[in-house]
Amino acid sequence: MRGWRPALRIAWRDALRHRGRSILVLVMISLPVLAVSAAAVVIKTAEVSGVERADRVLGAADARVRTEGRGALVQAPDPLESGWTPVGEVDLDAPLTEDELRAVLGQDARLVPIEDGSAATRLDDRVFDFSTIGVDLSDPIAEGLFELEAGRLPDAPGEVVVNGAMLDKGFAVGDELDVAGTALRIVGAGRDATAYDYPVVLGSSQDMRSGAVNLREWLVDAGPVSWSQVRELNAIGAVVVSRAVLADPPDDASMSEQLGYGTGQEETYAVAALIIVMALIEVVLLAGPAFAVGARRHARTLALIAASGGTPAQARRVIIASGVVLGLVASVAGLVLGVLAGWAALPFVQRFNGEWFGPFEAPWPYLAAIVVFGLVSALLASVVPAWLASRQDVVAVLAGRRGDRRPRASTPVVGLVLLGIGVAASAYGAVTAGGGSGAFWIAGAAILSVLGMILVVPVVVSTVARLAGRLPLTARYAARDAARHRARTVPAVAAVAATVAGVVALGIANASDEESNEATYWPQAPMGTGVVSWGPNVLPGEEAPDPEPVWSSIEQVVRETVPGVEVERTHGLAESYDPNGWTSQQVVLPPDLEDGEGWGLSVYGPSVAVSDTAAGAGVVGDVLGDVDRALAAGRTVVFTLAAEGDVEASLVEETWREGSEQAVDRRVHRLDAVMVPWDQATSGPAPASTILPTAVTDELGLEVMTRDLRLTGDLDEATETRVDEAVRGVTDGTYTYVERGYERPDEAVVVLLVLGALGGLLMLGGTLTATFLALSDARPDLATLSAVGAAPRTRRRVAASYAVVVGLVGSVLGAAVGFIPGVAISRPLTAAQMGPSGEEAGPFLAVPWLLVAVIVVALPLLTAAVVGLTARSRLPLVARLD
Amino acid sequence: MNAVLHLASVSRVHGEGATEVHALRSVTFRAHPGELVAVMGPSGSGKSTLLTLAGGLDAPTSGSVWIEGTDLATLDNAGRARMRRTSVGYVFQDFNLIPALTAAENVALPRELDGEKGRIARRLALTALEEVGIVDLADRFPDEMSGGQQQRVAIARAIVGERRLILADEPTGALDTDTGEEILRLLRARCDAGAAGVMVTHEARHAAWADRVVFLRDGVVVDETGADEPEILLAGDRA
């Protein structure tokens, strides 16, 4: 430590003296630290695990025991988090009894039944689902499961309390709630321990049956339940959440093996490692130039240290010490601000989460790791400048000349080799795409390629400087100066290049994925056609409403709302539902036609349509005539992939009862049918798989009803929205759909925008850093320019030129490198897809040229414009004359 | 003959109140075509301030500076910059060449900044380098040249494009005696060819090259040697 003290002192003073540069480094390092520690706080707080969850599911109980039948199982110490699995046969018909549990838990253990389930109810014409919890809330053991905020707790059968989300649905304390035919009165409202935005109803366990036949669950009051007791209960078929076990979990390595997880761990670690390495590279590159400038400013100090007998290691320490000082300050500042930001963001994030967050939690081990990340990035950023500074030519520096050693010729060669390995590994990853590890090869190769690229940057920068002779003065100056101050320019250019490489790679991956999505899109209806469908929401025991009046009002509303759109009803066989069961109808072809060219068609309308004309069933295309002729002759039309000609098909009607495993009634009708091949590739999905003429349905006495409304005409998105809103106003359970072909999902666009914005920001950061550090280095040159008569705006021109050099070189190089992983990753992403007609499709490769052009050309120019406009235009005075 | 440079009762005060420093006090000074004037004086006497004011890099607190008949106070920043590109050439003690530019490019700088085409500016630069005798080093970078060579480049930059006022601040300060003598010979020759030169120096030996020596002390001209017509001293307002 003693050897470090002078170095640290110099670094500390230097950081205070050069505030601008210090702030630059602080921002570069503290921002990622801030973001990640805020995220860690939010994630850890949102995550409810272990002891936190215990309070929510246990209330005041010592354990919660659940059984679905008799038979050994293994469970994780926290079964709600990590699950359980049976190890043998489970006898569902012989549930465990309370006595058997008491044999393990102790004879005086108190078992309070609790039921966890779900139910549905009707509010006006809407049906919605909610969770149910059946437990005696007045029992002290249930304390903590529900926090009463209004009214009172239920104290008699038929009384329930609800949570806030239930009130939001339109219920109020005092209302009656109809659940499965039983009227329950809401006597109170409050906060459920777990659910935040999902409706929950709590009542006695008699009123709130879970509905599951074999499931039984108890809250246990028996003192701490040990892990060995848990294992004993597991052996007879009970899953146990024990407060004592959660508080002090046993080593669960053997458990996880039996539960069969741990398989996905390596992948998660690999992904995390990749992200950390990339972030580290980016931060190091962004902060690097500031240390390079610092090292140059210290050139004389270091030379003096060397002249007075200091070793190169001692010289290095001066620069590395500034990495230590700035890295520590930045990490700690970022951590403090990040924890505060995470805390402040919690209420906002809670709104998007269905479960209550746990209490505020700062995960110190993670946060410590994040601080180490910040410190390491600062150290790494200062290492190269420190090493270069320790190699300087002492005599030259003391004589006032530049003491840079020439760069090693081997560096770019190593870079090219790394790039080559990167290309090879990417190619390997792309070829072994099916194996699943392809993506890791490619991501690893991306890191190698970026590292290789960094080593090539100095050569590229020198080459640009050599070619700059013909450029206008300021550009020539910028290019040459950039090459002269490589220690500062190279990391900045590399930072821009790494960012661009990432954006280009992800852009190619995204574009290829989109192209694959588009090529493999399965339309749900013919292009431009709209469908309004409706199915009644019926609670068990309720009679379904008569559909025809509902359809009439839906049709009327649609016609009134969009008069210009053609509306037609599609009819089909009724899929009747009554409280006791339902009847299904199915058209069956002879067995030799069932596969391949017979079935396999995608259908957007009813399976069995009923119509006397092809147009009436929504048939389009050149099969119209064939279908019309067959229907006119009273024959059934069956659409196939390829088979054609007459066929003897049969209509199978089966009636099912609730809870039964076999059809109670089965009727088969012979159909005189014609097979008509449907060309999906051109006409899209078929309107039905079978069309029956009314002659057949009349003869067989089949019930025909409206199945949906088919809309054709001008159906833009505004029209679709109007139709959708109008039919929703008529009744519950409607669905409006208009086929527009493949449309890019909004999230994909948002992801692209965020990616672009982040890329732009990092690029701007890299460019600005390099430019303003260059400007401060260029002070004497600018003073000279002023003395020989440069106009004040020259400074702006120099700044803008600098930004162009850094931005353009970086983005061209980065785009080239980004193609390597981008093209490679598109293969595992898009290979082995299935096209809309079932054919094999992919892999796809699409290059978003517009994005590439914007990033390579437009963004550097834009950055240069920003730099040019924001740079001060006053030129400094020559030092001697100051 | 009209003076190329005319300082009329120029004062320059730095700072305010207790930290007030009078760098120059009501100095009147002229330099004529063909004349090399040496400005001497101890440290802090205001020599350098006089040069910054003369080149329009700084503005006087009172009084006025005229270059070739134009009052610098009437020009804005850009106008004074144009004046430096077209009429005034600076030569500094530590050369102040731009390391990223070659010798020819450094010399061509004022012309290029003035909007001259690259090729024409380069031709003018080569002519100027020829005059100072190092045209063969045109494509070298400053750190590939000796101090004397660098100062020749700086002088070439100061004279490129027929500028008529050369302001030199200790031009030989960083050079050995022989090289320094050569540089002074160059300056002398340039003035003989029609330019006006003002050279700050503290070596009497160098002052011998001048037509006239002005002594400054505490911002006041305390002595002036050489011929100066008395009526000029009286008629301070004539440009």
Residue B65: CATH number of its domain:
3.40.50.300
Query: Chain B residues with CB inside 8 Å of A484's CB?
Result: 99-100
The ipTM of this complex is: 0.73
Residue A489 contacts B where some CB pair is shorter than 8 Å: no
Beta bridge mates, A462: none
Within this chain, do residues B158 and B180 fall inside the same structural domain, yes or no?
no
Residue B144 contacts A where some CB pair is shorter than 8 Å: no
The H-or-E segment that residue A74 falls in is strand A73-75
Using CA coordinates, name the residue in chain B closest to A874: B77
Within this chain, do residues B175 and B224 fall inside the same structural domain, yes or no?
yes
Within this chain, do residues B175 and B238 fall inside the same structural domain, yes or no?
yes
Pairing label, strands B88-91, A126-134: unpaired
Within this chain, do residues B108 and B157 fall inside the same structural domain, yes or no?
yes
* Omega prior to B60 cis, within 30 of 0: no
Query: Chain B residues with CB inside 8 Å of A402's CB?
Result: 99, 143
Within this chain, do residues B152 and B65 fall inside the same structural domain, yes or no?
no
Report yes or no on B216 lying in a domain: yes
**How far apart are the CA of A294 and the nearest CA of chain B, in angstroms?**
20
Q: Given B85, B98, B105, which is nearest A781 (Cβ)?
A: B98
Using CA coordinates, name the residue in chain B closest to A478: B100
Residue A351 contacts B where some CB pair is shorter than 8 Å: no
Within this chain, do residues B28 and B130 fall inside the same structural domain, yes or no?
no
- Residue-range domain boundaries for chain A: 428-444+460-521+745-882, 530-738
Query: Chain B residues with CB inside 8 Å of A878's CB?
Result: 57, 90, 92, 96
CB A22 within 8 A of CB A322: no
Residue B180 contacts A where some CB pair is shorter than 8 Å: no
Residue B30 has phi, psi (to 5 degrees) of: -135, 150
Tokens of B184: 């002074």
Report yes or no on B92 lying in a domain: no
Q: What is the pLDDT of residue A809?
A: 92
Query: Chain A residues with CB inside 8 Å of B57's CB?
Result: 786-787, 877-878, 881
Residue A781 contacts B where some CB pair is shorter than 8 Å: yes
Query: Chain B residues with CB inside 8 Å of A877's CB?
Result: 52, 57-58
- CB within 8 Å: A787 and B58: no
Q: What is the pLDDT of residue A332?
A: 93
- CB within 8 Å: A784 and B105: no
**How far apart are the CA of B212 and the nearest CA of chain A, in angstroms?**
23
**Mean pLDDT of chain B, nearest integer:** 84
Interface test with A, best of B39, B77, B140 (most A CBs within 10 A): B77
- CB within 8 Å: A791 and B77: yes
Q: What is the pLDDT of residue A776?
A: 80
Using CA coordinates, name the residue in chain B closest to A481: B100
Query: Chain B residues with CB inside 8 Å of A786's CB?
Result: 57, 81, 84
Q: From B163, B180, B211, give the residue that closes a domain.
A: B163
- CB within 8 Å: A878 and B96: yes
Q: What parts of chain A have a pLDDT lower than 70?
A: 1-3, 50, 124-126, 180, 210-213, 252-271, 308-309, 398-408, 433-436, 540-542, 576-581, 593-600, 658-659, 832-840, 875-882
Residue B105 contacts A where some CB pair is shorter than 8 Å: yes
Within this chain, do residues B170 and B159 fall inside the same structural domain, yes or no?
no
Report yes or no on B142 lying in a domain: yes
Within this chain, do residues B31 and B132 fall inside the same structural domain, yes or no?
no
Q: Given A480, A781, A789, which is nearest B110 (Cβ)?
A: A789
Using CA coordinates, name the residue in chain A closest to B46: A881
Q: From B163, B187, B208, give the residue that closes a domain.
A: B163
Q: If we measure between CA atoms, which residue out of A503, A452, A445, A509 comes closest to residue A815?
A: A503
Q: What distance in Å separates the CA atoms of residue B62 and residue B47, rounded to the nearest whole number?
A: 17
Residue A402 contacts B where some CB pair is shorter than 8 Å: yes
- CB within 8 Å: B101 and A788: no
Tokens of A739: 């086929």
Task: Please give the DSSP secondary-structure letter assigned to residue A857.
Answer: I
Residue A789 contacts B where some CB pair is shorter than 8 Å: yes
Q: What is the pLDDT of residue A596?
A: 56
> Which residues, numbered 287 to 306 in chain A, qualify as contacts with chain B under a Cβ-Cβ cut-off of 8 Å?
none
Residue B140 CA from chain centroid, whole number: 25
Residue B172 contacts A where some CB pair is shorter than 8 Å: no
Within this chain, do residues B79 and B10 fall inside the same structural domain, yes or no?
yes
Report yes or no on B9 lying in a domain: yes
C-beta pairs of A557-560 under 8 Å, 24+ apart in sequence: A557/A726, A557/A727, A557/A729, A557/A730, A558/A532, A558/A709, A558/A711, A558/A723, A558/A726, A558/A727, A560/A726
Confidence grade of residue B235 (pLDDT, cut at 50, 70, 90): very low
pLDDT over threshold 50, residue B141: yes
CB A228 within 8 A of CB A194: no
Report yes or no on B81 lying in a domain: yes
- CB within 8 Å: A881 and B112: no
> Which residues, numbered 1 to 60 in chain A, qualify as contacts with chain B under a Cβ-Cβ cut-off of 8 Å?
none
Using CA coordinates, name the residue in chain B closest to A480: B100
Query: Chain B residues with CB inside 8 Å of A472's CB?
Result: 118
Q: If we measure between CA atoms, which residue out of B100, B95, B92 comes closest to residue B141?
A: B100
**How far apart are the CA of B183 and the nearest CA of chain A, in angstroms?**
19
Interface test with A, best of B90, B150, B153 (most A CBs within 10 A): B90
Q: If we measure between CA atoms, which residue out of A719, A380, A351 comes closest to residue A529?
A: A719
pLDDT over threshold 90, residue B126: yes
Q: What is the pLDDT of residue B233?
A: 43
Tokens of A167: 């009130």
Residue A667 contacts B where some CB pair is shorter than 8 Å: no
Q: How many independent structural domains does chain B possess? A: 2
Q: Given A481, A484, A787, which is nearest B84 (Cβ)?
A: A787
Which span out of A354-368, B22-36, B71-85 was modeled with the highest average pLDDT? B22-36
Q: Given A470, A477, A783, which is nearest B101 (Cβ)?
A: A477
E strands, A476-547, are 530-534
**How far apart are the CA of A306 and the nearest CA of chain B, in angstroms?**
23
Q: What is the pLDDT of residue B6?
A: 92
Domain residues for the domain of B51 are 1-87+164-239
The number of C-beta contacts closer than 8 angstroms across A and B is 91
Confidence grade of residue B232 (pLDDT, cut at 50, 70, 90): very low
Tokens of A384: 């190269």
Within this chain, do residues B174 and B76 fall inside the same structural domain, yes or no?
yes
CB A284 within 8 A of CB A377: yes
Which burial class, exposed, middle or buried, applies to A750 when counting CB atoms under 10 A from its CB (0-12, 13-18, 19+)?
exposed
Residue A392 contacts B where some CB pair is shorter than 8 Å: no
- CB within 8 Å: B82 and A791: yes
Q: What distance in Å separates the CA atoms of residue B132 and residue B125, rounded to the nearest whole number?
A: 11
- CB within 8 Å: B109 and A473: yes
Query: Chain A residues with CB inside 8 Å of B109's CB?
Result: 473, 785, 788, 790
Within this chain, do residues B149 and B194 fall inside the same structural domain, yes or no?
no
Using CA coordinates, name the residue in chain B closest to A778: B98
Report yes or no on B34 lying in a domain: yes
Residues 6+ apart with CB under 8 A from A369: none
Q: What distance in Å separates the CA atoms of residue A222 and residue A63, rounded to the nearest whole number?
A: 8
Which residue do the tokens 């037509």 mark?
Answer: B211
- CB within 8 Å: A792 and B81: yes
Instruction: Determine the residue type at B49.
Output: T
Within this chain, do residues B181 and B142 fall inside the same structural domain, yes or no?
no
Residue B113 contacts A where some CB pair is shorter than 8 Å: yes
Q: What distance in Å separates the CA atoms of residue A480 and residue A459, rounded to the nearest whole number?
A: 13
What is the Cβ-side half-sphere exposure of residue A543, based on CA atoms within 13 angstroms? 3
- Overall size of chain B counted in residues: 239
Q: Given A481, A794, A881, which is nearest B169 (Cβ)?
A: A881
Residue B89 contacts A where some CB pair is shorter than 8 Å: yes
- CB within 8 Å: A788 and B84: yes
Lowest-pLDDT choice from A266-270, B4-8, B12-16:
A266-270
pLDDT over threshold 50, residue B230: no
For chain B, the helix, strand and coil percentages under 3-state DSSP, each to the nearest 5: 40, 25, 35
Query: Chain A residues with CB inside 8 Å of B24's CB?
Result: none
Q: What distance in Å separates the CA atoms of residue A739 and residue A743, rounded to the nearest whole number?
A: 10
- CB within 8 Å: B84 and A789: yes
Q: If we measure between CA atoms, which residue out of A77, A342, A376 comes closest to residue A230?
A: A77
